[in-house]
Structure 1
Amino acid sequence: MRKAVSWSILAYLCFGAFMYWYLFYGTSGAIPAEFKGTSADPATFMNSRELLLSQEYSRTKYLLFFLSTPFEWLVLLLLLVLGISRRFEASAEAVTKLKVGQAAIYMFYLSLLTTVLALPFKWIGYQVSKSYNISTQTTGSWIKDLVTDYWVNFAITLLVVTVLMWLIRKSQKRWWLYAWALSVPFTLFLTFIQPVIIDPLYNDFTPLKNKQLEQKILSMAERANIPAEHVYEVDMSAKTNALNAYVTGIGANSRIVLWDTTLNQLKEPEILFIMAHEMAHYVYKHIYWGVASYIVLSFVGLYLISRLVNAMLTRWRGALQIPSIQSLSAVPLIFLISSVLSFAVSPAENYVSRMEERAADQYAIAMTKNNDAAVETFQDLSKTSLSQVNPPALVKLFLYTHPTILERIDYLDGKK
């Protein structure tokens, strides 16, 4: 146990030191010489202060990501080897004999502890966003969102864990297959209800006040065969200065949504380009492809989780303090393996997403026929979010679901 704890902490500290060096000293963030003076050069649309802030903010944000993700793994591992997970289970069993009740008590302890331990990263991220004027959210509102997020995640996780443990008790060999079969309708259900039930828990959605703009957007939607009667705006300016818009949901629950920051900060041609881009995702059925790929990946993932859990219990059952896979104390191990696998596959997922975003850009250009507005849109997105135009390779690999601003503007310049 002492070896596991010591080596895990040392590995985390070494990884954190490497990422700090890589982000702040190992890479410059400068654009290639051939792009100097072009519309992709941030020096042409940012002043010296904005350039400095974008470098500082981006690096800090990236570092927080690369520190928080393995920190989650470290916490889950320590919960196992220090016997905390086992004690949570024993405490739940002492309260009730009902399996559902035990799962609820255990998951409350587990989720509360992991949330508290992860809180410093979230708080630092919030404070950094505030200091760089990205976030405009009050502390009270931030805490409210944190609490809402906790209970939404707790309810979903409790349901998943309860069903999962029931399946494991029924079949230790094929539980992963049954879990995958049940995850398919569950994933579709969450995708369907998110726009109308989950999203409104965090923000207020109202019909777009600018009816002239709404009519233009709906006209574009009609050309794209999107069944929409309204365009919604959401009051994000109370929380952030960042820009966004999206088309979400499936079937009758599809929604076209604009952040009010986008409405307030961009000109109409830029807004129309963004909406054309978002409509492309609907036209190309990227939501459906995303759900389908998740279903396929979850099949492979659950199979690998089952094999890895069994292998680790065979070799390190005593060190991990897990009596059997049927025990609730095995939940952190399942979460740990799932998180590591998800991180490992994220570069491939991000690559596919970047291809979809490139296709959406092409669709938007074809629909709006306004390259200048598109270039200005990406320049404004970079300025308002203080994002690097040319991020480091590891950042792009693990974080970028969209092409970089440099790539997007370079593509548009080539279309002129």
Structure 2
Amino acid sequence: MKKLLYWTLAIYVLYGIGMAWYLLGVADISIPPQWKGTSADPATFLTPKELELSGEYSRWKDLLFFLSIPYEWLIYFGLLAFGVAQALRTWVKRAAKWVPIQSALYAFWLSLITTALLLPIQFAVYHLSRTYGVSTQSLASWFRDRMTDFFIHTVLLVLTATVLYWLIRRFERRWWLYAWMLCVPFMIFFMFIQPVIIDPLYNEFYPLKDKKLETKILALASKANIPAEHVFEVNMSEKTNALNAYVTGIGSHARIVLWDTTLQRLNEDEVLFVMAHEMGHYVMKHIYWGLAGYIVLAFFGLWLVGKLIGWSLARWGRCIGIRRLSDIASFPLLLLLVSLLNFAASPLVNTVSRYEEHAADRYAIELTGNKEAAISSFQKLTKAGLSEVNPPLVVKIFRYTHPTMLERIVFLKEYAPPLQEE
């Protein structure tokens, strides 16, 4: 296993060199000739310096993303290959007699170890965004957010390990099915509480301060038959210069949220287009369709994890000292498989998300009818976040949950409103 790990490390280094060569050197991010000099060409709305910084920042950010995913896999694999996972199992058995407590302790220490090992690459991402002026967050604030991440991640991991390994011991063959059955209400519950409990741990939310603008937004919501009473503003200017707005939560806890940076950088017509886009998600029930999609993916994902982990332990269990799945030391292997499948599913998930975002763009332009404001809002989003207008294909496939800025602006330029019936 150690030899296999060393070979894996060598492959990771070669992979990193290859991705750096591709993203920093040969990847084509140029604008197609037919769109040069138009409003879709970043050279028309970014200064030469901003254009240069945008390319540099996006390429380094993409490289860190593609390095971080397999780096996480290496952590789990290394814990198994060097016996750390097994030693931790021995320690928790000595520390506690009750099996659920052993599972909880194991998950806590596993979370602490993985968080510490992932921290350097997370800091590199933070330092990059600070260097290029996208992030305005202080180091102390960034560290507080990482501590909050650790707390939430650890609580979820402890609950997962405790319940999951109880199910594995109780239902050796069908544990994955019962785990999925428990996942469904948990995902619904988590989406319900996220806007009111989780999100406020990171940022301050409050009703939109500009009441005149809120009146116009609510009038737009009424036009779309949305029973909205408030629009929420979140204080993001102390952390970033980027712009954003989003819809989150379900049921009575659903919220339409605007970053204060969006309000500071966009004019009124541009804000109304952005809000119409978010209203499109609400009207087309994308939150509910997304939840249904994740429930289906969770079913097939857990089934596949059950098959793969059984095969892995039969093939290599003796080498790593883990004979049965009920052994809590198999938890890093289970998390490794989940991470691998999440990455494998990301192109499909991103494709569906891009389709929904395009549908929301179409809805927004049909609701507002202001093409100029729509195009300028996307240009300002690009400028504030130093985003790539036309990213490499592999980046789009694995990273982009929205259509590229080139695709969005081109759609608006070519958009023709539907004919109105007499």
Tell me the TM-score normalized by structure 2: 0.97
In the TM superposition, what are the counterparts of 1:94-173 in structure 2 within 5 Å? 94-173=94-173
Report if the CA contact (8 A) 1:249-1:255 is conserved.
Answer: yes
- Tell me how many residue pairs correspond in the alignment: 416
Match of 1:92 in 2: 92
How far apart, CA to CA, are the structure 1 residues paired with 2:369 and 2:174? 53
How far apart, CA to CA, are the structure 2 residues paired with 1:197 and 1:276? 26
Q: SS of 1:238's equivalent? A: coil
How far apart, CA to CA, are the structure 1 residues paired with 2:246 and 2:173? 41
The answer to which of 321-330 and 198-207 deviates more is: 321-330
Match of 2:3 in 1: 3
How far apart, CA to CA, are the structure 2 residues paired with 1:323 and 1:246? 46
The Cα shift of 1:246 comes to 1.4
Match of 1:72 in 2: 72
How far apart, CA to CA, are the structure 1 residues paired with 2:374 and 2:15? 39
Letter in 2 for 1:263: L
Match of 2:176 in 1: 176
Match of 1:308 in 2: 308
Structure 2 unaligned residues grouped into runs of 5+:
417-422
How far apart, CA to CA, are the structure 2 residues paired with 1:226 and 1:117? 45
How far apart, CA to CA, are the structure 2 residues paired with 1:176 and 1:130? 42
How far apart, CA to CA, are the structure 2 residues paired with 1:123 and 1:251? 36
Match of 1:47 in 2: 47
Identity %: 54
Match of 1:206 in 2: 206
How far apart, CA to CA, are the structure 1 residues paired with 2:233 and 2:132? 25
Q: SS of 1:236's equivalent? A: coil
Letter in 2 for 1:100: P
Match of 2:419 in 1: none
Q: SS of 2:237's equivalent? A: helix
Report if the CA contact (8 A) 1:228-1:254 is conserved.
Answer: no
Report if the CA contact (8 A) 1:389-1:404 is conserved.
Answer: yes
Letter in 2 for 1:252: S
How far apart, CA to CA, are the structure 1 residues paired with 2:228 and 2:99? 45
Match of 2:367 in 1: 367
CA deviations 1:315-334 (Å, max 9, x no partner) are 10122332310011111111
How far apart, CA to CA, are the structure 2 residues paired with 1:256 and 1:152? 23
Q: SS of 1:237's equivalent? A: coil
Letter in 1 for 2:278: E
How far apart, CA to CA, are the structure 2 residues paired with 1:99 and 1:396? 44
Letter in 2 for 1:326: S
Q: SS of 2:322's equivalent? A: coil
The answer to which of 184-193 and 218-227 deviates more is: 218-227
Q: SS of 2:272's equivalent? A: helix
RMSD: 0.9
Tell me the TM-score normalized by structure 1: 0.99
The answer to which of 184-193 and 239-248 deviates more is: 239-248
Structure 1 unaligned residues grouped into runs of 5+:
none
The Cα shift of 1:374 comes to 0.5
Q: SS of 2:173's equivalent? A: coil
The Cα shift of 1:219 comes to 1.4
The Cα shift of 1:34 comes to 1.1
Report if the CA contact (8 A) 1:81-1:321 is conserved.
Answer: no
The Cα shift of 1:176 comes to 0.3
Letter in 1 for 2:302: L
The answer to which of 374-383 and 25-34 deviates more is: 25-34
How far apart, CA to CA, are the structure 1 residues paired with 2:228 and 2:91? 51
CA deviations 1:382-411 (Å, max 9, x no partner) are 111101100001000100010000001111
CA deviations 1:347-406 (Å, max 9, x no partner) are 111111111111000000000000000100111111111011000010001000100000
Q: SS of 1:325's equivalent? A: coil
